[in-house]
Amino acid sequence: MRLFQTSSWCILLVSLLTLALPSSPAQAEESSTPRKPTLKQAAGPNLLMGCAVSASDLDNPQRAALIADQFSCLTAGNEFKPLSLQREKGKFTFEQADKIADFAQQHGMKLIGHNLMWHNQAPAWLFEDENKQPLPRAQALANLKAHIDTVMKHFQGKVLGWDVVNEAVGDSEPYLRDTPAHKAIGDDFVVQAFKLAHAADPNVQLYYNDYNMEEPYKHAKSMRLIKELKAAGVRLDAVGIQGHWLIDKPDVAMIEKCIDDFAGLGVKVMITELDVDVLPRKNAGADITATEKAGLDPYKDGLPADVQQKLAKRYGEIFKILAKHRGEITRITFWGVDDGTSWLNFFPVRGRTNHPLLFDRNLQPKLAFDAVIEALKASSPR
Ligand code: G3I
């Protein structure tokens, strides 16, 4: 009798569980309550999980809720860049950036300032005259100081850290990229930017951010820059490895070596712009001069199940390495929230349908989401 009662209870329990649990991944994906654990829960208290957003992303209530549920940290995809904040000399426009800063504050999220100096999305007048000739060094430094002072003071107390310089290491140059800033200021343009940033706000974290630093062609040059920044005695809290990776490249061993090498120089590491391109593509990274053959757009109607699984496997392998290096890595930020708003729908070919993130176009978690959660759970939070 007792045996019968126990087994009846078991059957009842199993039946109830079967009713309560989604019977298929599709059913699970239709649920509107956040799947537990969320990314930030699985990451634990010492590893920030971030995403890049645009101010307009926050207008969509479903996307806004997803961002607040899953992530602990925000980066503006465009709104903090010099061109967005000071397109015309002396005329600062903070409205869109403030919208993102306010959202972060309202939801108890950290905020990353991206960026103070970049060769792209910066107004030409910062470092060039009307004839596109480099400004004298003193004038270029004065323009940079005015920008950095105003912007950093505006966000003082709201930003955890700034990408002070973005993508200064050359792809084709022997060392640094020959940007307008380099031409006007000289070889120490990166050091000067860090000095100005630290003077503007001595309490905020300062980062150097770049892509493809794990690739052999750029790794030694990147290590040289970090060593030079350390030797110059500037504040440098972390190196941001962007993480614009492909479904089959780079090898995770290369990523791990890069993390180890930077950590060995005594800086923290952040993965700052993570996405995994599933479309045919020649090279990883974010070289804005890269072009691709148009027309290859195989997943317009959705990602086939086998590629969905391949993407999940790739994310799982990446996160296994990242989670293993908890401690050295203090933040992982995805470059976007969902596939629909990813920059990879426009780069390096305009108008393709890419699927590089953890949430699909309906803001539903993909298999890759589960793979990331599993990898994070498998390593104990510190
Ligand atoms: O704001 C204009 C708008 O007025 C105009 O109507 C529209 C027409 O195309 O363009 C809008 O500007 C676009 C801007 O994003 C805002 O959406 C630019 O054309 C477009 O080039 C720009 O792309 C940004 C890209 O940086 C520029 O290189 C992406 O959104 C942004 O995600 C991307 O982010 C960079 C990181 O900052 C650094 N690392 C690489 C990463 C990917 O390129």
- Spell out the SS3 assignment of 14-37: HHHHHHHCCCCHHHHHHCCCCCCC
Tell me, in angstroms, the distance from the centre of ligand 1 to residue 121's CA: 8
Task: Classify residue 330: in a domain, yes or no.
Answer: yes
Query: Count of CB atoms within 10 A of residue 102's CB?
Result: 14
95 is an active site residue: no
Number of domains in the chain: 1
Q: What was the pLDDT predicted at 52?
A: 98
Contact, 258 vs 213, CB < 8 A?
Answer: yes
Domain of residue 119, residue span: 35-285+293-378
Residue 15 falls inside a structural domain: no
User: What angle separates helix 305-324 from helix 367-378, to the nearest 10 degrees?
Assistant: 20
* Atom number in ligand 1 closest to CA 335: 32
CB count within 10 Å of CB 284 equals 22
3 inside domain: no
Please state the pTM of the whole predicted model. 0.90
Residue 219 lies inside a defined structural domain of this protein? yes
Among residues 125, 127, 193, 123, the alpha carbon closest in space to that of 163 is found at 193
d(CA 142, CA 165): 17
User: Rounded CA gap, 50 and 73, in Å?
Assistant: 4
Please give the DSSP secondary-structure letter assigned to residue 248. Answer: S
Distance from C-alpha of 164 to C-alpha of 237, rounded to nearest angstrom: 11
The residue nearest atom 13 of ligand 1, judged by CA position, is: 78
The DSSP H or E segment spanning 144 is helix 137-154
Quick check: is 17 in a domain?
no
pLDDT value of position 81: 98
Sign of torsion over alpha carbons 205, 328, 217, 227? positive
In Å, how far from its chain's centre is CA 183? 28
Which pLDDT score, from 0 to 100, does residue 294 have? 60
Question: How big is the chain, counted in residues?
Answer: 382
Identify the active-site residue in 29, 79, 214, 273. Answer: 273
Q: pLDDT digit of tens for each residue in the chain (382 aa)?
A: 333 343 444 333 333 333 333 333 334 444 467 778 999 999 999 999 999 999 999 999 999 999 999 999 999 999 999 999 999 999 999 999 999 999 999 999 999 999 999 999 999 999 999 999 999 999 999 999 999 999 999 999 999 999 999 999 999 999 999 999 999 999 999 999 999 999 999 999 999 999 999 999 999 999 999 999 999 999 999 999 999 999 999 999 999 999 999 999 999 999 999 999 999 887 777 776 666 666 689 999 999 999 999 999 999 999 999 999 999 999 999 999 999 999 999 998 889 999 999 999 999 999 999 999 999 999 976 6
Distance (angstroms) between ligand 1 centre and the Cα of 346 equals: 9
Whether 26 is covered by a domain: the verdict is no
Q: Pocket around ligand 1: residues whose beta carbon is below 6 Å from it?
A: 77-78, 120-121, 166, 242, 273, 286, 288, 343
Annotated catalytic residue: which of 29, 79, 167, 214?
A: 167
| Token output for 130 | 């009307």
Residue 148, domain CATH: 3.20.20.80
Nearest-5° Cα angle at 343, 243 to 204: 55
- Which residue puts its alpha carbon closest to atom 23 of ligand 1? 343
What are the start-end ranges of the H helices in 155-215? Answer: 180-185, 189-200
Ligand 1 pocket mutation, candidates 121, 276, 335, criterion most atoms within 8 A of CB: 121
Would 9 be classed as within a structural domain? Answer: no
Domain assignment present for residue 81? The answer is yes
167 an active-site residue?
yes
